[in-house]
Copies of this chain bind each other. A is one copy, B any other.
């Protein structure tokens, strides 16, 4: 950690700061320059409140050099984490093919999709039961009934299931769910993250549209601080001002997250652009960049889907994408 002092800082103030920092157990190195003085801090700086230090009258700015995340940090955990999702492994060379409809709509629909994606090589089934929608007037999901239908599809196909949680009070309903998804808008719902840290369920943690990788890592840290280390990063995109594509698939986040953390990374090419005809090139791009899995929306009849139809693939299109991804992964 580095603190830059203001030009006019009095020697007495600098001395008192130095004393206080040493009392916190840090090594302090001071470089005095003509226009500024730099204080280098070495040791366990994670206990120093950066806001407190920045707020001191003589301090111009503070820069953290070491990472504020510990449990998710690859530096302290060099090997890839492999998350076991009801039998389907993700990370450390294990690739997840998660597929299913945006929303669970009916028994017939979810069973049909589940059978089709299993046949095409999917390793997990995903379907929305609780749906976060921008408008209170849009379809909000089948809720508890939706989870029941997913469990039925699991019994029939053997595919582990993934579904999104929106409220920690609903946790009892997720007892038999294999992977709990945290949506982009809840990435910094810290109360929810903390509750999920008390479970041992695999968590698919989605990056918010305008959140940095560091914020994503800190949200993982909230869950891990509670003892739950079964986290899979999940992301689609970053907000830009582009209009043709809904958003931008931030492919560079994949190798960067792998460098910063030992946790697996799954990409969502369906939501990334919001256009089904771009799902295949984006899926291939994410796999080529080293993703540990792909979540792709599949619907037997995308034109009739109750939400997000335009970005869903038909089962036939999914089979084509899955085969292309498999070929590409063999080559790499």
Contacts and interface: CB of A to CB of B under 8 A. Distances in A.
B212 A244 contact: yes
Contact of A190 (B31, B166, B289): B166
A54 interface: yes
Interface string A213-224: 111001001100
Nearest to A213: B244
Interface in A258-308: 259-260, 272-273, 277-278, 281-282, 284-290, 302-308
A252 B194 CA distance: 34
Interface residues of A, number: 107
Nearest to A40: B31
A292 B113 CA distance: 35
Given A42-B33, A210-B210, A243-B214, A252 B55 contact: no
B65 A36 contact: yes
Interface stretch (A89-97, A131-139, A147-155): A131-139
Interface of A: 2, 4, 27, 29, 31-36, 38, 40, 42-43, 46-47, 49, 51-52, 54-57, 63, 65-66, 68-69, 75, 132-139, 166-169, 185-186, 188-191, 194, 208-210, 212-215, 218, 221-222, 225, 238-245, 248-256, 259-260, 272-273, 277-278, 281-282, 284-290, 302-310, 312, 324, 327-328, 330-332
A196 to B, nearest CB: 12
Contacts of A36: 65-66
Nearest to A273: B252
Nearest to A309: B55
In this complex, the member of A55, A68, A260, A278 whose beta carbon has the largest number of chain B beta carbons within 10 angstroms is: A55
A61 B244 CA distance: 11
A188 B191 contact: no
Contacts of A194: 136
Contacts of A240: 238-241, 248, 250
